[in-house]
Chain A
């Protein structure tokens, strides 16, 4: 039956390609181009970096090992957290294959979910990992054996990270199931998500504190200078407890052509993955009852008739009527508040926002951590402050683009399912556009400017520089948000209302390329302005960005006078 479901997935792809084939072929080609561009970039970056390290005879092992540790720690963490979110919304979801739960082969639902989570963890790792290991084999030698061994390690790492996430969620759900006994109520997706977020957040905080307390300089001066090579014990002592430590050791052993050692580490990693597999198998016995309970939730088929009349009257009396919208009383205000309510009440969206915002905060903190370390060792200069602020601009652009891609761009496509409401109301599509623009701009500006103000106040830069910095951030956030929303309004996806699918469509890919290119250009111009005082290019960039926002909004507004994204047959 599992094969049959996969066959249906394959047929689904053929059906997907059956309409608008050229546009979809271009999308796939662009996507592949993006993947290849990333892979090529990683290949050259890794080759150049490790070639430099190889020439540093004393740090021939310490520098690469530290790099492996940090790289795999960050990668492993990202894979684990994204797999936790996937597991929460994949394992117990009653989607199109719900009927399988009514068959004797109901565990296929679990197997299918596990494979999907593993696959979504594996392919990004391979895009980054494959060119990296080929580059490393080029620098350190070892040929196909080294590449293959490293690849096996990467696959095991992906399996370990996604498997651990699955065990974590299944164990948590089973625990809730047991704890609630016969009474329903505790085992609900919202409580499960809250507990998972609290535990992952706590672990993240613990890890972040350990890393922040690490003294990078001491890690590298721990060995005797008379030795041919620096001792790696300082680094292994600092990272021994990290789950990705084994992968770093495998890479180090492969780099030294210590094959037996590398393969023994691989075997240990495989054993750890096998243990995760056994845990999943054990937890699978609780899968069906947990799945069934999670389908129940708060289902409301009753009305205030019969036995429910008293309860309904009590509820009505306890909670007085409340109008909506609460703050902005107009049709445009209603759409603004609708966006807020639907975005922040969706558990999936909220977890996604918290995850990405958490990464944004961590990256912003790391920027400041870099400043603190450089100040501690007396190397803090205006150049470093300029670099750190530019890094913050780049960070803001990256995360605003990610948020816009996930929320603003698919917004009109997501609302197409509810077009019977928006499409039949006497409100113009341009009013819907401006309401949505106001909402997303406000949220992204709060994120971007909030972290920007924190950055500027900790760095203690002059007020004029703070103004330049915040103005650059504000205008770039607005430009990216307007672009994403306008693109999504003009080219709504007529085949899917899943924001994750809409993000990977042709408009999504175009947005990714252009917004990141725009962000890179803005960051470089900002850096030059701080570094050499080239204010004219920055002023021109800000002015042109503002002009772009106005022009894009005006053009789309005019366009939406004749083009209605809520009319069904626009395809």
Chain B
């Protein structure tokens, strides 16, 4: 589904991502973890088309994100870490607006919006303006907007920041269910290690713009020389200290 080969990206003198390669297969939930400034968001934004890679290739469903942006964007659902939207739009208008941009027919949108609002129990507040929503509710609307056009790849940057525990559990279920449907996958960047350990089929640990380690929990434990029941936190600390 997603193939990242030797991706690099610099901002002036700062090399944010240095030759990162990984792959996310159908059915996978791949979590990127790492300290602030490790390059997680830069990778996600480069795939989503918000940043132009300096080097390497990124393909989604076999299409290159640089040479075929419209095709790849149509396959991606993106959930940002800062879910800002136009303050004068209602939540309902926002969902329809995003759906329209992805050419989802109106009848289909009406049905999808109704169903999706129920996911986070947002019925009744969808006609309120975006500026009146709390951080958590904005996040929920951005998650729903990303799912509206039935994407094949979900890119999620800090998925549960601002969500209450029940909503975080709902989001977790959504992402797992999404990846479990045939031909779908999710790439999630997060600092919440317990969330990553619970949801990920594979995990990539970023450090200073490089992928320090990649694998399933068991593979990472082995790479970090940790016990078979070590938590992701233990594994992360061991790998971070080593790199």
* Residues in chain A within 8 A of chain B (CB atoms): 297-305, 308-309, 311-316, 319, 321-325, 329-331, 333-335, 338, 341-342, 344-346, 417-428, 566-569
Given A424-B76, A426-B74, A568-B50, answer yes or no on A304-B89 (Cβ-Cβ < 8 Å).
no
Complex Cα–Cα for A301 and B122 (A): 10
Query: Which residues of chain B have C-beta atoms less than 8 A from A314's C-beta?
Result: 124
Query: Which residues of chain A have C-beta atoms less than 8 A from B134's C-beta?
Result: 299-301
State whether B89 touches A300 (Cβ < 8 A).
no
Complex Cα–Cα for A385 and B6 (A): 71
Interface assignment of B226: CB less than 8 Å from any CB of chain A:
no
State whether A324 touches B101 (Cβ < 8 A).
no
Complex Cα–Cα for A300 and B135 (A): 10
Complex Cα–Cα for A287 and B128 (A): 28
State whether A325 touches B100 (Cβ < 8 A).
yes
State whether A322 touches B92 (Cβ < 8 A).
yes
**In whole Å, how far is B239's beta carbon from the nearest beta carbon of chain A?**
29
Please tell me which one of the listed residues A330, A331, A338, A420 contacts residue B78 in the complex, with CB atoms under 8 A apart.
Answer: A420
State whether A311 touches B124 (Cβ < 8 A).
yes
Best-surrounded residue of B49, B88, B103, B120 (most CB of chain A within 10 A): B88
State whether B121 touches A324 (Cβ < 8 A).
no
Interface assignment of B238: CB less than 8 Å from any CB of chain A:
no
Interface residue tally on B, bucketed by range: 35 or more
Q: What are 9 A-B contacts defined by CB distance under 8 Å?
A: A298-B129, A303-B121, A313-B124, A314-B124, A331-B101, A338-B86, A345-B129, A421-B85, A427-B101
Interface assignment of B113: CB less than 8 Å from any CB of chain A:
yes
Of all chain A residues, the one with the shortest Cβ separation from B52 is A567
Query: Which residues of chain A have C-beta atoms less than 8 A from B69's C-beta?
Result: 426
Given A323-B106, A424-B73, answer yes or no on A298-B132 (Cβ-Cβ < 8 Å).
yes
Closest 9 A/B residue pairs (Cβ): A312-B124, A345-B88, A301-B134, A334-B100, A425-B101, A324-B96, A304-B121, A315-B124, A426-B73
* Residues in chain B within 8 A of chain A (CB atoms): 11, 45, 48-52, 69-71, 73-74, 76, 78, 80, 82-89, 92-93, 96-98, 100-103, 106, 109-110, 113-114, 120-129, 132-134, 136-137, 140, 145, 166-167
Given A305-B121, A312-B125, A421-B85, answer yes or no on A338-B97 (Cβ-Cβ < 8 Å).
yes
Query: Which residues of chain A have C-beta atoms less than 8 A from B110's C-beta?
Result: 321, 323
Given A300-B133, A301-B136, A311-B124, answer yes or no on A330-B100 (Cβ-Cβ < 8 Å).
yes
State whether A319 touches B127 (Cβ < 8 A).
yes
Please tell me which one of the listed residues A309, A330, A420 contacts residue B50 in the complex, with CB atoms under 8 A apart.
Answer: A420
Of all chain B residues, the one with the shortest Cβ separation from A328 is B100
Of all chain A residues, the one with the shortest Cβ separation from B73 is A426
Of all chain B residues, the one with the shortest Cβ separation from A344 is B88
State whether B125 touches A426 (Cβ < 8 A).
no
**In whole Å, how far is B11's beta carbon from the nearest beta carbon of chain A?**
6
**In whole Å, how far is A487's beta carbon from the nearest beta carbon of chain B?**
22
Given A305-B121, A566-B50, answer yes or no on A341-B85 (Cβ-Cβ < 8 Å).
no
Given A319-B127, A424-B76, A426-B71, answer yes or no on A346-B88 (Cβ-Cβ < 8 Å).
yes
Query: Which residues of chain A have C-beta atoms less than 8 A from B122's C-beta?
Result: 303-304
Of all chain A residues, the one with the shortest Cβ separation from B157 is A420
**In whole Å, how far is A420's beta carbon from the nearest beta carbon of chain B?**
4
State whether B124 touches A334 (Cβ < 8 A).
no
**In whole Å, how far is B65's beta carbon from the nearest beta carbon of chain A?**
11
State whether A421 touches B98 (Cβ < 8 A).
yes
Query: Which residues of chain A have C-beta atoms less than 8 A from B127's C-beta?
Result: 315, 319
Of all chain A residues, the one with the shortest Cβ separation from B107 is A323
